[in-house]
Amino acid sequence: MNSKKSDFVKFEQVDKSYDGKELVVKGLDLDIAEGEFLTLLGPSGSGKTTTLMMLAGFETPTNGEIYFDGRPINNIPPHKRGIGMVFQNYALFPHLSVYENLAFPLKVRKVDKSEIEERINKTLKMVSLTGFENRMPAQLSGGQQQRVAVARALVFDPKLVLMDEPLGALDKNLRESMQYELKHIHESLGVTVVYVTHDQGEALTMSNRIAVFNDGKVQQLSGPNELYETPVNSFVASFIGENNTFTGTVKEIASGSAKIETDSGETIVANPIAVSSSGEKSRISLRPERVSIDPNEQLENKFTSEIREIIYHGDHTRVRVNLLGNDDFILKVPNASSDLKLNVGDKLDLGWSSHDCRALDY
Amino acid sequence: MTAEIRTSDGELLSVKLKKVERRRRTTAFLLAAPLLFFIVFAYVIPIFQMLGRSIDNAEMNSFLTETHEVMQTWDGSEMPGEDVTSTFYYELKTAVENKYHGKIATRLNYEKGGFTSLIKKTSRKLKNFDENANFLDQFIDVHKKWGDIEYWQALKRGTDAYHFRKYLTTFDYEQKFDGSIERIPEKLRINVTLWLRTIFVAVGVTFCCFILAYPISHLLSVLPTRYSNLLMICVLLPFWTSLLVRTSSWMVLLQKQGVLNDTLVSLGFVADESRLELMYNMTGTFIAMTQILLPFMVLPLYSVMKTISPSLMRAATSMGATPFHAFRKIYFPLTYAGISAGSILVFVLAIGYYITPALVGGAKGILISNRIAYHMQQSLDWSLATAMATVLLIAVLVVYWLYNKIVGIDNMRLG
Ligand SMILES: Nc1ncnc2c1ncn2[C@@H]1O[C@H](COP(=O)(O)OP(=O)(O)OP(=O)(O)O)[C@@H](O)[C@H]1O
Ligand SMILES: [Mg+2]
Strand order from edge to edge, sheet including A301-312: A292-293, A347-352, A301-312, A316-323, A326-334
Q: What is the ipTM of this complex?
A: 0.79
Q: Which of B94, B102, B93, B103 is nearest to B138 (CA)?
A: B93
Q: Which of A232, A268, A235, A229 is nearest to A251 (CA)?
A: A268
CA nearest to B317 within chain A = A79
Contact A18 CB / ligand 1 (< 6 Å): yes
Domain co-membership, A117 together with A198: yes
Domain co-membership, A221 together with A336: no
Count structural domains, chain A.
Answer: 2
* A152·B329 Cβ contact <8 A: no
Domain range summary for chain B, segments of one domain joined by + = 1-53, 60-161, 194-411
Residue B154 sits at φ, ψ, to 5 deg, of -65, -35
Residues contacting A352, CB < 8 A, separation 6+ = A286, A290, A291, A292, A299, A301
Whether the CB-CB separation of A177 and A146 falls below 8 Å is answered with no
| Angle of the B115-125 helix axis to the B149-158 helix axis, nearest 10 | 100
CA nearest to B307 within chain A = A94
Per residue in B227-284, pLDDT (tens digit) is 888 988 888 887 788 888 888 888 888 888 888 888 888 888 888 888 888 888 888 8
Q: Which of B96, B99, B104 is nearest to B62 (CA)?
A: B104
Domain boundary, last residue among A234, A258, A289: A234
Residues contacting A189, CB < 8 A, separation 6+ = A154
pTM for the model stands at 0.79
The tens place of each residue's pLDDT in chain A, 362 residues long, gives 456 777 889 998 899 998 888 888 888 888 899 989 999 998 888 888 999 999 999 999 998 999 998 889 988 999 998 899 998 888 999 999 999 999 999 999 998 999 999 999 988 988 888 889 899 999 998 888 988 998 999 898 898 999 998 887 778 888 888 888 888 888 888 899 999 988 888 888 889 999 999 888 888 898 888 888 888 888 888 888 888 888 888 888 777 778 888 887 778 888 877 777 777 888 888 888 888 887 777 777 788 888 888 888 878 888 888 888 777 888 888 776 656 677 777 888 888 887 888 888 77
- Tell me the C-alpha to C-alpha distance, in Å, between residue A248 and each of A241, A267, A268, A278: 22, 9, 9, 11
What one-character DSSP code corresponds to residue A197? Answer: E
Domain boundary, last residue among A207, A234, A261: A234
Domain co-membership, A294 together with A170: no
- Shortest CA gap B335–chain A (Å): 10
Strand A257-262 relative to strand A267-272, pairing: antiparallel
**Residue A4 included in any domain:** no
Residue B287 sits at φ, ψ, to 5 deg, of -60, -50
- Give the DSSP H/E element, type plus range, for residue B91: helix B82-98
Give me the torsion for CA of A298, A300, A305, A307, rounded to 10°.
-60
- Tell me the C-alpha to C-alpha distance, in Å, between residue A263 and each of A254, A270, B211: 21, 15, 72
* A105·B325 Cβ contact <8 A: no
Q: Which residues of chain B have pLDDT under 50?
A: 1
Q: Give the ligand 1 atom nearest the CA of A40.
A: 21
Domain co-membership, A138 together with A202: yes
Give the pLDDT score at A1: 40
Q: Structural domain of residue A353, as residue ranges?
A: 242-360
Domain co-membership, A267 together with A204: no
Domain co-membership, A214 together with A254: no
- Give the DSSP H/E element, type plus range, for residue B252: helix B243-254
Contact A48 CB / ligand 1 (< 6 Å): yes
* B316·A93 Cβ contact <8 A: yes
* B319·A108 Cβ contact <8 A: yes
Contact A168 CB / ligand 1 (< 6 Å): no
Domain co-membership, A230 together with A253: no
Q: Point out the residue among A77, A83, A95 whose CB comes nearest to the CB of B333.
A: A95
Q: Which of B389, B388, B395 is nearest to B172 (CA)?
A: B388
* A87·B314 Cβ contact <8 A: yes
How far is Cα B378 from Cα B384, in angstroms, rounded to an integer? 12
Domain co-membership, A175 together with A89: yes
Q: Which of B319, B324, B328, B413 to mutate to test the interface with A (most CBs of A within 10 A)?
A: B319
Strand A281-286 relative to strand A357-360, pairing: antiparallel
Strand partners, B289: none
**Residue A210 included in any domain:** yes
Give the pLDDT score at B37: 92
Q: Which of B119, B102, B117 is nearest to B155 (CA)?
A: B119
Task: For Cα atoms B30, B35, B38, give the angle at the middle one, nearest 5 degrees.
Answer: 125
How far is Cα A15 from Cα A31, in angstroms, rounded to an integer? 15
Give the pLDDT score at B413: 56
Pocket test for ligand 1, best of A14, A17, A24 (most atoms within 8 A of CB): A24
- Coil vs helix vs strand at B126: helix
- Tell me the C-alpha to C-alpha distance, in Å, between residue A181 and each of A169, A188, B315: 16, 11, 22
What one-character DSSP code corresponds to residue A255? Answer: T
Q: What is the CATH number of the domain that holds A224?
A: 3.40.50.300
* A105·B333 Cβ contact <8 A: no
CA nearest to B335 within chain A = A95
**Residue A290 included in any domain:** yes
**Residue A2 included in any domain:** no
Domain co-membership, A198 together with A293: no
Q: Which residues of B touch A194 (CB under 8 A)?
A: none
Strand partners, A250: A260
CATH superfamily, domain at B194-411: MetI-like (1.10.3720.10)
Domain co-membership, A124 together with A162: yes
Strand order from edge to edge, sheet including A83-86: A83-86, A160-164, A192-197, A37-41, A209-214, A217-222
Query: H helices of A127-255, where?
Result: 142-154, 172-189, 200-206, 224-229, 234-239
Domain boundary, last residue among A234, A260, A278: A234
Domain co-membership, A152 together with A275: no
Q: Give the ligand 1 atom nearest the CA of A198.
A: 25
Pocket test for ligand 1, best of A17, A18, A194 (most atoms within 8 A of CB): A18
Contact A262 CB / ligand 1 (< 6 Å): no
* B318·A104 Cβ contact <8 A: no
- Shortest CA gap A154–chain B (Å): 10
Q: Read off the amino acid at residue B261.
A: N
How far is Cα B356 from Cα B87, in angstroms, rounded to an integer? 51
Pocket test for ligand 1, best of A11, A21, A46, A89 (most atoms within 8 A of CB): A46
Domain co-membership, A297 together with A220: no
